[in-house]
Structure 1
Amino acid sequence: MELVERDAAMAVLDGMLAAAVAGKGRVAMVTGSVATGKTELLNTFAERVLDLNGLAITAVGSRAERNLPLGVFGQLLMDAPLVAEESRRAMDLLHEGAQSVPAGPDGAARLDPQIVHGLCTVLLELAQRYPLVIVVDDLDHADPASVLCLAYLARRVRFAPLLVVFSHSGHGRPDEPALELEALSRPPQGAHLTLATLTAEGVRQMAAGVLADDDAGRTAVRWHQLSGGNPLLVAGLIEDHRQILAEGGAPDDEPVAGGHYARAVVSCLHRADPRLARVARGAAILPGAGFLDQLIGVETAQIGQAVRALTAAGILHQGEFRHPVARDAVLAEIDGEERCELHRRAAVLAHHGGAPSRVVADQLLGAGRAEERWAVPVLEDAARWALREGRVDAAMRYLRLAWQACGDEQHRAKIMTTMLRAAWRINPGTSTGYLSELTAALRRGHLRGGDALALTKALLWDGRFTDARSVFEHLNDAGDDLDQEGLTELAIARPLLRSTYPSFFALLRQPAERPPVVSTVASSHRLEAASALATVLTRGPSEKIATAVARILHNSRLDEMSLDTVESALLALTYGGWSDQAASWCDLFVEEAVTRRAPSRLARLSAIRAEVSLRVGDLPAAVRHARLALEVMPPTSWGVAIGSVAAPMMIAATAMGRYDLVREQLDQPVPEEMFQTRYGLHYLQARGRYSMAIGQLHLALRDFEYCGELAGRWQLDTPGLVPWRVDAAEALLRLGRPDRAHKLVEEQLHRCGKENPRVQGMAMRLYAAAGELRHRPMFLRQAVELQTADEYEQARALVDLTGAFQALGEPRRSGMIAQRARALVEKIEAEPLLATLNPEPGGAEDARAQVVASPTPAATLSEAERRVAVLAADGYTNREISKKLYITISTVEQHLTRIYRKLNVTRRTDLPAHLVRDHIVTG
């Protein structure tokens, strides 16, 4: 390890060496935290002595040899270039001295002073022949007898060409001779050098050969934070960085702290005093020093000293490890059984000390058992907080241990129900492992009320309808025994079943005459949102519902229990025809799901966003959001709800001509039980649309009619859910059965009020197709005007309008509408529609018109002129414009004259098509 930021210390040692050479002996004491470079400094200095023709002899203290009398002093004598006679005398003295020191901490005091004098005289005589430097590293680990001799020697260096350099960590409890050495190393005869950890600039210098210049400064600052400037820890981080590069990786903004860093931390503790290592292990078990004295049996004062030493060494910061890797490395050093026992004791101490439930629960997890009576409630409370904070994985660990430790069957069932709910937030597919045991608990009478309904929800999602029916029967048998929570959950379940699993709605007993008291705001919102969705799907939308749903969404967040609320509210907006509002809200909640790292919620919200995108005609977005939903949560985890994500993808892909993507979805098996749910209606529509697109009209008609049969049976036959009559009418028209098609379209129009302009526009397009040719433009214009919120359906109406004008022999109008249709079709990537558009009539003349019409913006027109220009560009005659705008034909002509002049065109056919498109976007 290279020396960085040690020039000042080296300069002091060089000056002391010069004084020693001049016959003025000196004593230097180098101290510093563990692994701060004391050994490197002493070794480098010893090599410099040799370069200056001096003599350096070295020794190193070792904890393992601390009970070997005169072991360190013997190293010095064996390293010294003694003549044979001196060597024999020194060895005899060492042997005699070692034999005379009795065992025990006070044995060094019994060492014969004559032996001490004789040993030191050997080195003092050697210094008369050579300028001598004696280097003793890790003095705090030296045996007491050697320390006694070194103290004797240090007192006699003043008038000898001798420099004695010691090092120690400064965190131990030195004996009396060592304290004397500390005193002898003070000025003027000595120097006390304290090596600090590196600064951020020092870390940058160490890393200069590894990091690029642009990254060195930023990364060095982070490395300094992770290491506290400890050179050994910095070296570990550098090696981890090198390893990432060698493996072909590219380090990201957060530096890697890996195996080399972990080993460096452990190495620091192995070098340190055992008390420091013990405190570090205690801090790894229980962060913070509050209970460490009781946990590891060390006095509070000593713990404070050790924590300060570990902080100075760069291992701890504010009582905790600087990186989780460091803590894990220290924990790995503790024997498994000992570690579990320490965690158990830490849990007890933390609980009785009033620590938060999360702290206690983490200790119980570390112990792997929860035997105390208070453990299960603490684990449950920690799980509740973890769920509120979005830490679902942690909550599952707490709950699993609580379930294992709980001895009460009913309580165990409740804990498992909470685990079921938590698992749903990650992946509903993982909940299947709980269903059988919970169903058995229900039969034994251990599952009640809201917990039983949570089980029902999971069973229905998983397609286990037989088991779900038995749960409903059990709830009905419970009758008035349900508690308040159970009654509330039952009230919420009714509209949810009505909307999603309508075949089960009749199984729930009728609510009591007095509605249940909803005790929390969250439950109130869940009930209101579910009721709003059920109302939209059974009776249709209303402005009152839209206002209520917007209020609910404004006050909702994706916390522990709110996804049902958000999902119901978003679907109420979607099916109610407020897709633009649904899109904005959905995007906000998708962003929150990403932030909270809630994959199940992200997937389900993305599926809704795909449906919303489909209803506004954004086909690429519908495919993109559906793909995301299936990537975040695989098809096997969707259960019967697979139709909610597969359907919008298939419908959008069919409209885009991406039939391979549709076939990919159709090849995925779906549960048969899906067709007993709302999701099945969407799937039937999507499959029928694809069959119709590839010419399998009878199959398409069968799916549409079956969809209608189910919707009617379930009393969900509202235009906003699935407009199956429009699809069936289109299939019938292609099959050459216009009468039946006309009847279905009229029925659909009769069911559409002003709240369903999108479906009304779809029906109006088919009404035009089933009627007489001369009336088609009028109905298709109405369809275009009704479809301002759905670009795909508007494009279909425009394409049909283009064809109608062509069939009526009006190429000018046909060409103008075709321009507008083509721009819209290209935007939404509806390739099959694009293929149906004939080349624009008029050839070079129309091409010239497009060039002339494009440069001048419509913003130069007055509002009255813009309204006339829009209708004229859309192909309306002057008489038709006058009727629509309630102005005279003369006024229309005057407006057109000014419009032609402002836009630099000479006739109606030169008006740019984007006038109409801009009007739709801004109108």
Structure 2
Amino acid sequence: MGLVERDKAVTGLEGLLTEAVAGRGRVAMITGTVGTGKSELLHTLADRAVDFGALAVTASGAHAERTLPLALLSQLFHDAPLQDRERERAMSLLHEGTVAALAADNRDDNEHIDVQIVHGLCTILLELAERYPLALLVDDVHHADRASVVCLAYLARRARFAPVLVAFTQTEFGRSSDPSWQAELLRPGHGSRIKLAPLTGLGVQQFAAETVGAEVAERLAGQWYQLTGGNPLLVAGLLEDYQAATEETGAEPDEVVVGERYAQAVVSCLRRGEPQMLEVARGVAVLADTEALDRLLRTDAGVVAQAMRALTTAGIFTLGGFRHPVAATAVLAGFDQDERAELHRRAAVLAYDGGASARVVAEHLLGAKEASEAWGVAALEDAARQALREGQVESAVSYLKLAWRACTDERQKIKIMTTLVRAEWRVNPSTSSSYLPELAGALDKGFLQGSDAVILAKALLWHGQLAEAEVILEHLAATGVDLDPAAAGELAMTRPWLRCSFTPLAQHFRPAPVTVTTVSASRRLEAANALSTVLSATPSENVAVVVERILRSSRLDEMSLDTVESALLTLTYGGHAEQAAPWCDLFIEEAHTRRAPSRQARLAAIRAEVALRLGDLPGAARHARLALEIMPPSSWGVGVGVPLASLVTACTAMGRFDEVSEWLDQPVPETMFQTRYGLHYLHARGRYSMATGHLPLALRDFQKCGELMTTWELDAPGLVAWRTDAAETLLRMGRPDQARRLIEDQLGRCGKDMPRVHGSALRLLAATSQLRHRPMLLRQAADLLQSGADRYEHSRVLVDLTEAYHALGESRRAGMIGRRARALAEECDAQPLLRRLSRDIGWDDKETAAAQPSVTGSAAMLSDAERRVAALAAIGYTNREISDKLYITVSTVEQHLTRIYRKLGVVGRTDLPAHLELDLSATV
């Protein structure tokens, strides 16, 4: 530590040392708050003593040695260069004095040490001074034992006419030593008081410049001063934190870094001071209400006030509290756990009696690790509810766990446990499994009823315990009209959820009129009914409008995830994946902000399914992996089928078969196949089997999927289009007639709002048709998939169309469509499709890329009408076909093409860019 703004003090001490060497003994008392450089100043004087012809002899007081007689004085004799005879005499006197002091009963005065021993010890030092002028330097004299203090006072009086400088350091909040000996030390003409003040703002800048350079020091000195009050020790800690951050990142931080070194400096300051300073600092770290500190610490208010002033002067406090939270954390970390718990227990009582918020009281109860007061459990429950509303799930779980342990009423204990299950569900659903047996026992005893019983049933379902959940549902169904309104409403909202996810169990709930009592419950019921309708019937045209209205008014508060999930799945299964995507992203971000990992994982799984239906294979894999990273497969229960299915389907389409094999080796609950989640898994596994040539296995999975969906009356094409994949498998197995029947059945089930499924079915219908009829069907499929925004399925259609034109000998059209197919396949990273284009048509990637004109950027110059004509021409439509499709004359088509060629700088339609998007929603 440097000596910035300490020039006057150094000069003063050197002057006193010069006088002492000349035979005029001097005494100096260096005071100041902890950490202001008193010790550094003394060390500097010790280093320079030899330059003045003096010998430095040093000692340092320690709080732990305050009860050891003559401990500090012994340091001086051990450090002094005594002759053997002198050392033997000194050790004898020290031993005699120590024994006498320990044997004395009264230690409040000088009687416990013989004056002859004091005289003898001081004489040895004065005789040494006759040979070598001495600088006796004693650091932290406020920690000295009483016997050493008596000897030092005697020595100070005798040293007046000897070549001796006696210099002490003492903190301003140090022990109030005997005024008489301090008066002896500082008599006019003999003693001097040197007070070290904290650094000024400019001093902090100068101090920092020595370490981090002038530019950084000038920029950050103001903040460093605010955090330290000019205490050099604290400033040094911040500088070390800054340097550590620079070394770690390889670049100088733009802002102040407050870290471990600063924390250590704060603790060091407190340990160097008196115990009262540390005690009050700990009190403030526990209880922010400084007005109640004396009651918390059970000490005198005057002592507390004095310590507060000292801590403020030391730069640790400002305005009654720590200058930075890191300081408070460091103080608590070094606190004995039992003592800290006791302080928190007292603080909880003070906070409760003072009308503090439930969160404040609960935090103290957590620190106390108990809630023994009569109001403790209620305060913890209130705090948990508030924390859940604010998205502080981890805190809520902590409050509820303590409340559950402290509660003695069995019914109330079960109520707390159900709330705890709901809260932990946001973080990791698997943690709730440990509570299920006790909750089931409470149900048998009649302690668990209504909506709490529904929570238990849902938890059991998640963990695959369907039989146990069925017993509870039967119990609730039998209760019927005896249910209270809240429980009846919960059951009404649970029925459509079961209908969509655990269909075999939905029979336990017959539809019954019920009045929901809150807006959020109304939204939840409406969203669940919308999803049920989409999965069991043809969705209405305005379903997207209805669920988007629900989503606009929803937030991820305590009970709304079911609402959000149902609404997002309604859009996804209802053929509106492109509308679901931004909503998913919004709620995933909100779940992250609210620190609710299980919700983030479940929403990421939905986002993966959305990406899959948009043909974004890399995105689907990324979101599915994220879902399984945030919440590992073991925590998903039967729901693991959803993220696994998206990951398997996406990776299969991208040709990453080794990765798929590893994921399919993951064990899944057998009961998953009795749920909607199992349908997705069967479908994904079937696609992998088909892609790897295991056709009978693939057909078995697709047919099993169809059997379940038919039995459950969930045979909606938007959920799982099992017929098209079963048909494709049959085609590969050489059974086209069976395949065609399935395809025609699928086409009969597809409405105009299902272009994705409709287009995929048309692609397979083309495969069962004569070669000359295929282009027409495939172009119809391409139109549907273009508007449906599924890039992967669109690229599959274009690859088939390319192969059809190639087989018909229309190489020009095959080349045009092939470029478009390749562009889409590359966007999707669909490597098997790219290999088909290269293998079956004989294209080389590099040659194709080189042959394709770079005109994509110029396509922005086209009008909407020209873009639509160009897009159709690029995928092989003739002028007459374009005329019929866009309801314009052939002449108009030709005029558009002429302008298109000129704007793009191409010769003909074979040079048109492959990335033109087709939009037939507007008229030309």
TM class by shorter chain equals: 0.7 to 0.9
What is the aligned partner in structure 2 of residue 432 from structure 1? 433
SS in 2 for 1:540: coil
What is the CA-CA distance between 1:215 and the residue it aligns to?
A: 9.1
SS in 2 for 1:592: helix
Is the 8 Å Cα contact of residues 816 and 875 (structure 1) preserved in structure 2? yes
Cα distance in 1, alignment partners of residues 597 and 646 from structure 2: 20
Cα distance in 2, alignment partners of residues 899 and 71 from structure 1: 99
Is the 8 Å Cα contact of residues 100 and 113 (structure 2) preserved in structure 1? no
Q: Which amino acid aligns with 1:170?
A: E
What is the CA-CA distance between 1:81 and the residue it aligns to?
A: 8.5
Closer, same or farther in 2 for the Cα pair 1:376/1:675, shift >3 Å?
same
CA RMSD of aligned residues (A): 4.6
SS in 1 for 2:196: strand
Closer, same or farther in 2 for the Cα pair 1:735/1:238, shift >3 Å?
same
Whether 2:823 is the aligned partner of 1:808: answer no
SS in 1 for 2:137: strand
SS in 1 for 2:370: coil
Closer, same or farther in 2 for the Cα pair 1:124/1:195, shift >3 Å?
farther
Q: Which amino acid aligns with 1:609?
A: R
Cα distance in 2, alignment partners of residues 922 and 267 from structure 1: 78
Q: Which amino acid aligns with 1:687?
A: R
What is the CA-CA distance between 1:265 and the residue it aligns to?
A: 5.5
Cα distance in 1, alignment partners of residues 291 and 358 from structure 2: 16
What is the aligned partner in structure 1 of residue 890 from structure 2? 889
What is the aligned partner in structure 1 of residue 196 from structure 2? 194
Deviations 1:363-412, CA, capped at 9 Å, x for gaps: 32233322221111111122223333333333222212211111111111
Equivalent positions of 1:455-494 (< 5 A) are: 455-494=456-495
SS in 2 for 1:452: helix
What is the CA-CA distance between 1:919 and the residue it aligns to?
A: 9.2
Is the 8 Å Cα contact of residues 803 and 841 (structure 2) preserved in structure 1? no
Equivalent positions of 1:549-568 (< 5 A) are: 549-568=547-566
Closer, same or farther in 2 for the Cα pair 1:518/1:663, shift >3 Å?
same
Cα distance in 2, alignment partners of residues 911 and 71 from structure 1: 96
What is the aligned partner in structure 1 of residue 381 from structure 2? 380
What is the aligned partner in structure 2 of residue 298 from structure 1? 299
Cα distance in 1, alignment partners of residues 663 and 82 from structure 2: 89
What is the aligned partner in structure 1 of residue 617 from structure 2? 619
Among 140, 143, 158, which residue is 1:141 paired with?
143
What is the aligned partner in structure 2 of residue 391 from structure 1? 392
What is the aligned partner in structure 1 of residue 364 from structure 2? 363
Closer, same or farther in 2 for the Cα pair 1:624/1:113, shift >3 Å?
closer
What is the aligned partner in structure 2 of residue 834 from structure 1? 834
Closer, same or farther in 2 for the Cα pair 1:217/1:793, shift >3 Å?
farther
Deviations 1:450-469, CA, capped at 9 Å, x for gaps: 11111111111111011101
Q: Which amino acid aligns with 2:517?
A: V
What is the aligned partner in structure 1 of residue 53 from structure 2? 53
Deviations 1:499-535, CA, capped at 9 Å, x for gaps: 1111111112432x3x22323x333332222222222
SS in 2 for 1:291: helix
Cα distance in 2, alignment partners of residues 849 and 240 from structure 1: 55
What is the CA-CA distance between 1:630 and the residue it aligns to?
A: 1.3
What is the CA-CA distance between 1:643 and the residue it aligns to?
A: 1.2
Cα distance in 1, alignment partners of residues 563 and 823 from structure 2: 39
What is the CA-CA distance between 1:694 and the residue it aligns to?
A: 2.4
Is the 8 Å Cα contact of residues 873 and 916 (structure 1) preserved in structure 2? no
Closer, same or farther in 2 for the Cα pair 1:646/1:91, shift >3 Å?
closer
What is the aligned partner in structure 1 of residue 517 from structure 2? 518
Cα distance in 1, alignment partners of residues 166 and 843 from structure 2: 105
What is the CA-CA distance between 1:778 and the residue it aligns to?
A: 1.9
What is the CA-CA distance between 1:791 and the residue it aligns to?
A: 0.4
Count of residues paired in the alignment: 916
What is the aligned partner in structure 2 of residue 449 from structure 1? 450
Cα distance in 2, alignment partners of residues 584 and 249 from structure 1: 35
Q: Which amino acid aligns with 2:303?
A: Q
Q: Which amino acid aligns with 1:605?
A: L
What is the CA-CA distance between 1:591 and the residue it aligns to?
A: 2.1
SS in 1 for 2:167: strand
Is the 8 Å Cα contact of residues 874 and 916 (structure 1) preserved in structure 2? no
Is the 8 Å Cα contact of residues 393 and 595 (structure 2) preserved in structure 1? no
What is the CA-CA distance between 1:874 and the residue it aligns to?
A: 2.5
SS in 2 for 1:192: strand
* Identity over aligned pairs, percent: 58
Equivalent positions of 1:26-37 (< 5 A) are: 27-37=27-37
Is the 8 Å Cα contact of residues 641 and 679 (structure 1) preserved in structure 2? yes
Equivalent positions of 1:292-371 (< 5 A) are: 292-316=293-317, 330-331=331-332, 336-371=337-372
Among 705, 730, 733, which residue is 1:732 paired with?
730
Deviations 1:859-917, CA, capped at 9 Å, x for gaps: 44444444433333332222222223333333333443444444444444343434457
SS in 1 for 2:693: coil
Is the 8 Å Cα contact of residues 77 and 90 (structure 2) preserved in structure 1? no
Deviations 1:247-282, CA, capped at 9 Å, x for gaps: x99999796955x87776555444322222332343
What is the CA-CA distance between 1:562 and the residue it aligns to?
A: 2.3
SS in 2 for 1:761: helix
What is the aligned partner in structure 1 of residue 534 from structure 2? 536
SS in 2 for 1:412: helix
Equivalent positions of 1:375-774 (< 5 A) are: 375-511=376-512, 513=513, 515-519=514-518, 521-774=519-772
Q: Which amino acid aligns with 2:523?
A: H
Cα distance in 2, alignment partners of residues 312 and 681 from structure 1: 70
SS in 2 for 1:857: helix
Cα distance in 1, alignment partners of residues 94 and 884 from structure 2: 127
My pick for the range that moved more, 591-600 or 178-187, is 178-187
What is the aligned partner in structure 1 of residue 796 from structure 2? 796
What is the aligned partner in structure 2 of residue 169 from structure 1? 171
Cα distance in 2, alignment partners of residues 305 and 141 from structure 1: 18
Is the 8 Å Cα contact of residues 798 and 817 (structure 2) preserved in structure 1? yes
My pick for the range that moved more, 63-72 or 736-745, is 63-72
Q: Which amino acid aligns with 2:481?
A: D
What is the CA-CA distance between 1:710 and the residue it aligns to?
A: 1.7
Q: Which amino acid aligns with 1:11?
A: T
Deviations 1:720-762, CA, capped at 9 Å, x for gaps: 1112222222223333333333333233222222211111211
Cα distance in 1, alignment partners of residues 124 and 844 from structure 2: 115
Q: Which amino acid aligns with 2:170?
A: H
What is the CA-CA distance between 1:609 and the residue it aligns to?
A: 0.9
Equivalent positions of 1:834-853 (< 5 A) are: 834-837=834-837, 850=851
Deviations 1:820-858, CA, capped at 9 Å, x for gaps: 1111112211122222225768999x9799455748823
Cα distance in 2, alignment partners of residues 786 and 281 from structure 1: 70
Closer, same or farther in 2 for the Cα pair 1:91/1:704, shift >3 Å?
closer
Is the 8 Å Cα contact of residues 31 and 195 (structure 2) preserved in structure 1? yes
Deviations 1:319-361, CA, capped at 9 Å, x for gaps: 5566777656655665554444333223222222222223322
Cα distance in 2, alignment partners of residues 650 and 592 from structure 1: 27
TM-score, length-normalised on structure 1? 0.87
Unaligned runs of at least 5 residues, structure 2 = none
Is the 8 Å Cα contact of residues 262 and 326 (structure 1) preserved in structure 2? yes
Q: Which amino acid aligns with 2:714?
A: L
Is the 8 Å Cα contact of residues 550 and 567 (structure 2) preserved in structure 1? yes
What is the CA-CA distance between 1:125 and the residue it aligns to?
A: 9.6
